[in-house]
Amino acid sequence: MALSLAIEGLDAGYGAVKALRGVTLHVEAGETVALLGTNGNGKSTLMKCVMGLVRPDSGRLALSIDGVAHDLTKLSPEAIVDLGVALVPEGRRLFPKLTVTENLMLGAFRKVARSAIQQNLALVFDTFPVLEERRNQLAGTMSGGQQQMLAIARALMSSPRLLLIDEPSVGLSPLLVSQTIAKIGELKQRVGLTVLMAEQNFNQAIRIADRGYIIVHGEIAVAAQSVDELKANDIVKRLYLGGVV
């Protein structure tokens, strides 16, 4: 199964607010790609465009599956989930009054995913044992780190091949950020998941990323072919390594 995402010249926004300007990026099968940028630079908007939740003003947004191209700008969010794309939204968006298991089941609402529930539950409980231990606990009573793991696990219940993860580190202590990032890295090893991860935390993101992009004011300022290339870039040095951010 070869899946890749290609975005070319994407413009998107909210009325007069232009959130993305001419964004071009790609994610190949099996890669973990970091989309790095501070608050308000367009990371979430880009992920919402891929999911069909925000419609771009112009540009190309295509998923290729085994050589067959799918124009994501013409598909509903449900159809995009069916193609194997899932989003772990910023702020987790769990159902706090529902249990861990109930939240997980809501991730498996599409027909394709319903037939794979047992297999996907085994994967998420194996990856996140704390969720199995707490399967009957209300999601809202779990710690921030556990909630982030549940949000990732819920997305995995839809049998994705491409996982979009929006700022997994937000609101977590440094230790939990480190553990969450390590878990995302583990998923790549385990199931060969393709990942596009938006992050503000440069040093944590590059631990598991194969390569990355820096987005500034809705434009791709840096497109690096490797983490070493990213670290050597002057814009990156100024933004992240010189202590400015």
Ligand X SMILES: Nc1ncnc2c1ncn2[C@@H]1O[C@H](COP(=O)(O)OP(=O)(O)OP(=O)(O)O)[C@@H](O)[C@H]1O
DSSP 55: -
Chain residues 158-177 in contact with ligand X, contact rule CB under 6 A: 167
Residue range at the interface with ligand X (CB under 6 A); choices 25-33, 38-46, 116-124, 225-233:
38-46
**175-201 burial, b if ≥16 CB within 10 A, otherwise e?**
ebbbebbebbeebbeeeebbbbbbbbb
- Which residues, including other chains, have CB under 8 Å from residue 215's CB and lie 6 or more apart? 23, 35, 36, 37, 41, 42, 43, 46, 221
Residue range at the interface with ligand X (CB under 6 A); choices 11-19, 95-103, 109-117, 235-243:
11-19
Is 22 an interacting residue with respect to ligand X (CB under 6 A)? no
How far is CA 89 from each of CA 1, 222, 228, rounded to the nearest angstrom?
A: 25, 24, 28
Residue range at the interface with ligand X (CB under 6 A); choices 41-49, 78-86, 118-126, 144-152:
41-49
The whole-angstrom separation of Cα 243 and Cα 178 is 20
**148-164 burial, b if ≥16 CB within 10 A, otherwise e?**
bbbbbbbbbbbbbbbbb
Among 45, 146, 159, 169, binds ligand X (CB under 6 A): 45
Q: How many residues bind ligand X (CB under 6 A)?
A: 13
Among 22, 40, 96, 174, binds ligand X (CB under 6 A): 40
In angstroms, give the least distance from the CB of 128 to ligand X: 24
Is 44 an interacting residue with respect to ligand X (CB under 6 A)? yes
Is 199 an interacting residue with respect to ligand X (CB under 6 A)? no
- The site string for ligand X over 118-157 (x = CB under 6 A, - otherwise) reads ----------------------------------------
The whole-angstrom separation of Cα 140 and Cα 152 is 15
Which residues would be at the binding site for ligand X (CB under 6 A)? Answer: 14, 17, 19, 37, 39-45, 90, 167
